[in-house]
């Protein structure tokens, strides 16, 4: 695999965290970022892939960090077991597995607690990132449903004012066909994004 491509992808994923929806960066994990009623639908749709990439990358990184901690603990526990076995057998040649495990805990209690704390903290971090990542995936569904509702309302009410500004007492009406095209393109992009996941 091309290392430069991997470096560029990693940089792009990290840069995605700096992208904003209505001035709030993705990396801030503000709950308003998940609410499709906040800001414009276009802004949410445009940044959805960036958010999935950013939080997906964070999740993968958290998985790697947790796995590395578990491997480190496994190496230490095997070394501790060998040392405890030698010590237990030196004291009693008929030492059992239970005797060896007890010796291991006596000799390494503080280190075992430290490993447990580090692995627990890494697991908690992974769980939190996973919940946030799943929320962003759910947001893709919410965007699609929101766009479907808007499209349905357009079909049912041909005189619907979607956007515009007040000029005196009159609202500026938006061309319905242009909004339908925009909604269809949002739905199309959302389908393409969900199929690529």
Domain membership of residue 147 (yes or no) is: yes
What's the pTM?
Answer: 0.69
Domain membership of residue 172 (yes or no) is: yes
Domain membership of residue 197 (yes or no) is: no
Q: Read off the pLDDT of residues 16-70 as tens digits, 9 standing for 90 and up.
A: 777 777 788 888 888 888 887 777 778 888 888 888 988 999 999 999 999 999 9
Domain membership of residue 196 (yes or no) is: no
Q: Read off the pLDDT of residues 162-188 as tens digits, 9 standing for 90 and up.
A: 554 444 444 444 444 555 566 666 666
Cβ neighbors of 46 (< 8 A, separation 6 or more) are: none
Domain membership of residue 89 (yes or no) is: yes
Domain membership of residue 33 (yes or no) is: yes
- The count of structural domains within the chain is 1
pLDDT at 85: 95
Containing domain of residue 69, as a range? 3-190
Domain membership of residue 195 (yes or no) is: no
How would you write 128-189 as a 3-class SS string?
HHHHHHHHHHHHHHHHHHHHHHHHHHHHHCCCCCCCCCEECCEECCCCHHHHHHHHHHHHHH
Q: For residue 55, with 0-12 CB atoms within 10 Å meaning exposed, 13-18 middle and 19 or more buried, which class applies? A: buried
Domain membership of residue 146 (yes or no) is: yes
Q: Read off the pLDDT of residues 67-106 as tens digits, 9 standing for 90 and up.
A: 999 999 999 999 999 999 999 999 999 999 999 999 999 9
pLDDT at 97: 95
Q: For residue 69, what is the DSSP state?
A: H
Contact 54, 62 (CB under 8 A): no
Per-residue DSSP letters for 99-135? Answer: HHHHHHHHHHHHHHHHHHHHHHHHHHHHHHHHHHHHH
Q: For residue 20, what is the DSSP state?
A: E
């Amino acid at each position: 695999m091309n290392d430069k491509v991997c470096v560029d992808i990693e940089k792009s994923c990290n840069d995605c965290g700096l992208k904003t929806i209505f001035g709030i960066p993705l990396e801030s994990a503000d709950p308003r970022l998940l609410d499709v009623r906040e800001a414009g639908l276009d802004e949410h749709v445009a940044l959805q892939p960036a958010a999935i990439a950013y939080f997906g990358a964070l999740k993968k990184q958290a998985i790697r960090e947790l796995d590395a901690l578990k491997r480190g603990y496994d190496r230490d526990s095997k070394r501790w077991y060998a040392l405890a076995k030698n010590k237990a057998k030196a004291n009693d040649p008929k030492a059992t597995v239970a005797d060896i495990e007890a010796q291991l805990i006596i000799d390494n209690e503080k280190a075992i607690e430290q490993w447990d704390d580090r692995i627990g903290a890494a697991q908690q971090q992974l769980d939190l990132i996973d919940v946030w990542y799943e929320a962003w995936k759910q947001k893709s569904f919410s965007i699609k449903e929101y766009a479907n509702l808007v499209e349905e309302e357009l079909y049912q009410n041909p005189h619907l004012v979607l956007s515009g500004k007040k000029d005196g007492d009159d609202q500026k009406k938006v061309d319905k066909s242009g909004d339908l095209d925009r909604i269809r393109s949002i739905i199309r992009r959302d389908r393409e994004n969900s199929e690529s996941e």
